[in-house]
């Protein structure tokens, strides 16, 4: 029955056009009950531009087809990711891209789309990526690698065949938030109170205000709506207020979180999860306060260099970055594929502004103060210290055991996933529009 439905979908919607064959959109693949449209392919092709390797009309549809296999499995296994979780990655990715481009304007010029559209693209890609990763994690959770396997695997390899490990660095950071004028904070809070009052008296809707004014751009387009989430998914201050709400017709008091200031409206509660809307506003930082913050960090750097105290003590006692202050300021790199946490970063894994500065530093050197956008979307000031640089080298069992172990584990998991995809191809209805199947696919089982 599913094959019949899919065939009907394909044949009825395969071509939507104006007169004179001016094609607006068309279905180019069907995978299960899901259609892949020409517009989907073109959107992704435009997003990646020349960085995409291979024929985009072969590579992109196959990637979308593979995604649909994983998303179908996620639905079967009730695997979900919340908007809160997605937005954590989105903010970091957007900020990283802005820093790499140099400004929002330059990023828009390079991507040939407005920031709102860029954010929407990143949001959808991130949601799909996280769902796929969770499915992969569930499928491969029992795959383990023993120390004996690692030693046995690499003892058989000639030295010049061992994995090549790129240059890695260990970086310490000391962060300070610029002071924000009390008047500016009160302005933002009063603004939020005014919007809350307008919602309460029925003169406007919360979602309309969120679309127009919320600075959480990942949820603003959805009227500020966050999907069902547990208490630990939120910033603690935000969660305490959100979970205390009982009346969907009322709006919370103004609450401050690590992201800025919010007002919140309850939508629904399901067991230990809630669905809410929120509006986020961040006070504007005066350039003079940025300069003052950089000057403070310059004095701190001078004291460290003079031996008044160490960088480690400074990070612990002075830094405003809660992610690193209790770790002597050492930045931690969490590997998405394995969940492994390490203090080592390849240069491309560092935030753009930090990577640019580290590239010119010597081991033990402390940078000049600089400002950047952190993963929470706030402008902060920082100094960094290059703790260590590990030159590119061939891996060795004694020095790089965890890296080698991780590489074998990833290889075993990838082989399992590849076999899983091939098996899924056999049991999934696939139809490809004529002319779109003449490709050398990574998984040839799409075409029989």
Q: Cα–Cα distance between 217 and 116 in angstroms, integer? A: 7
Residue range 150-176, pLDDT digits in tens? 999 888 888 788 888 899 999 999 999
Average pLDDT over residues 383-389: 97
Helices 182-200 and 206-213: angle between axes, nearest 10 degrees: 150
Q: Cα–Cα distance between 13 and 397 in angstroms, integer? A: 57
> pTM for this one?
0.64
Residue range 18-74, pLDDT digits in tens? 333 445 689 999 999 999 999 999 988 887 777 788 899 999 999 999 999 999 999
The percentage of the chain sitting over the pLDDT mark of 70, rounded to a whole number, equals 94
Give the lowest-confidence range in 40-49, 228-237, 436-445.
40-49
**Cα 292 to Cα 234, 371, 373, distances in angstroms:** 32, 12, 17
Q: Cα–Cα distance between 278 and 57 in angstroms, integer? A: 40
Which has the higher per-residue pLDDT, 243 or 81? 243
Domains of the chain: 2-141+410-446 (1.10.4030.10), 167-179+286-391 (3.10.50.40), 182-281 (3.10.50.40)
Residue range 247-294, pLDDT digits in tens? 999 999 999 998 899 999 999 999 899 999 999 999 999 999 999 999
Q: Could you count the other beta carbons within 10 Å of the beta carbon of residue 403? A: 16
């Amino acid at each position: 029955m599913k094959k019949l439905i899919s065939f009907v979908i394909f044949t009825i919607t395969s071509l939507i056009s104006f007169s004179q064959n001016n094609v607006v959109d068309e279905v180019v693949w069907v995978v299960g009950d899901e259609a892949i449209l020409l517009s989907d392919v073109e959107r992704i092709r435009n997003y990646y531009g020349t960085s995409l390797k291979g024929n985009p009309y072969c590579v992109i549809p196959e990637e979308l087809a593979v995604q649909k296999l994983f998303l179908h499995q996620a639905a079967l296994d009730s695997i979900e990711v919340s908007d809160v979780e997605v937005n954590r990655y989105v903010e970091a990715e957007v900020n990283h891209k802005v820093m790499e481009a140099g400004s929002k304007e330059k990023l828009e010029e390079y991507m040939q789309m407005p920031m709102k559209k860029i954010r929407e693209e990143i949001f959808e890609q991130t949601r799909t990526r996280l769902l796929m990763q969770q499915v992969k994690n569930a499928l491969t959770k029992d795959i383990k690698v023993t120390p004996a396997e690692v030693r046995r695997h690499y003892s058989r390899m000639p030295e010049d065949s061992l994995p090549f490990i790129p240059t890695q660095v260990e970086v310490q950071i000391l962060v300070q938030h610029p002071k924000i004028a009390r008047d500016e904070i009160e302005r933002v809070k009063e603004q939020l109170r005014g919007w809350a009052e307008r919602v309460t008296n029925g003169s406007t809707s919360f979602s309309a205000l969120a679309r127009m004014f919320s600075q959480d751009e990942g949820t603003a387009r959805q009227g500020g709506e966050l999907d069902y989430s547990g208490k630990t998914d939120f910033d603690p201050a935000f969660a305490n207020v959100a979970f205390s709400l009982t009346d969907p017709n009322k709006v919370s008091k103004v609450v401050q979180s690590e992201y800025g200031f919010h007002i919140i409206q309850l939508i629904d509660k399901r067991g230990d999860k809630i669905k809410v809307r929120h509006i986020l506003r961040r006070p504007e930082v005066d350039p003079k306060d940025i300069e003052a913050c950089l000057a403070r960090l310059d004095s701190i750097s001078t004291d460290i260099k003079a031996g008044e105290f160490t960088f480690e003590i400074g990070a612990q006692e002075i830094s405003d970055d809660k992610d690193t202050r209790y770790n002597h300021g050492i930045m931690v790199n969490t590997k998405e594929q394995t969940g492994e946490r390490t203090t080592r970063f390849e240069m491309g894994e560092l935030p753009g502004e930090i990577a640019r500065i580290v590239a010119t530093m010597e081991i033990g050197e402390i940078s000049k103060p600089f400002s950047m956008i952190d993963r929470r979307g706030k402008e902060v000031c920082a100094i960094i210290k290059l703790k260590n640089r590990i030159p590119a080298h061939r891996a060795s069992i004694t020095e790089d055991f965890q890296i080698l172990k991780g590489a074998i584990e990833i290889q075993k998991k990838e082989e399992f996933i590849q076999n899983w995809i091939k098996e899924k191809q056999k049991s999934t209805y696939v139809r490809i529009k004529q002319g779109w199947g003449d490709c050398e696919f990574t998984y040839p089982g799409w075409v029989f």
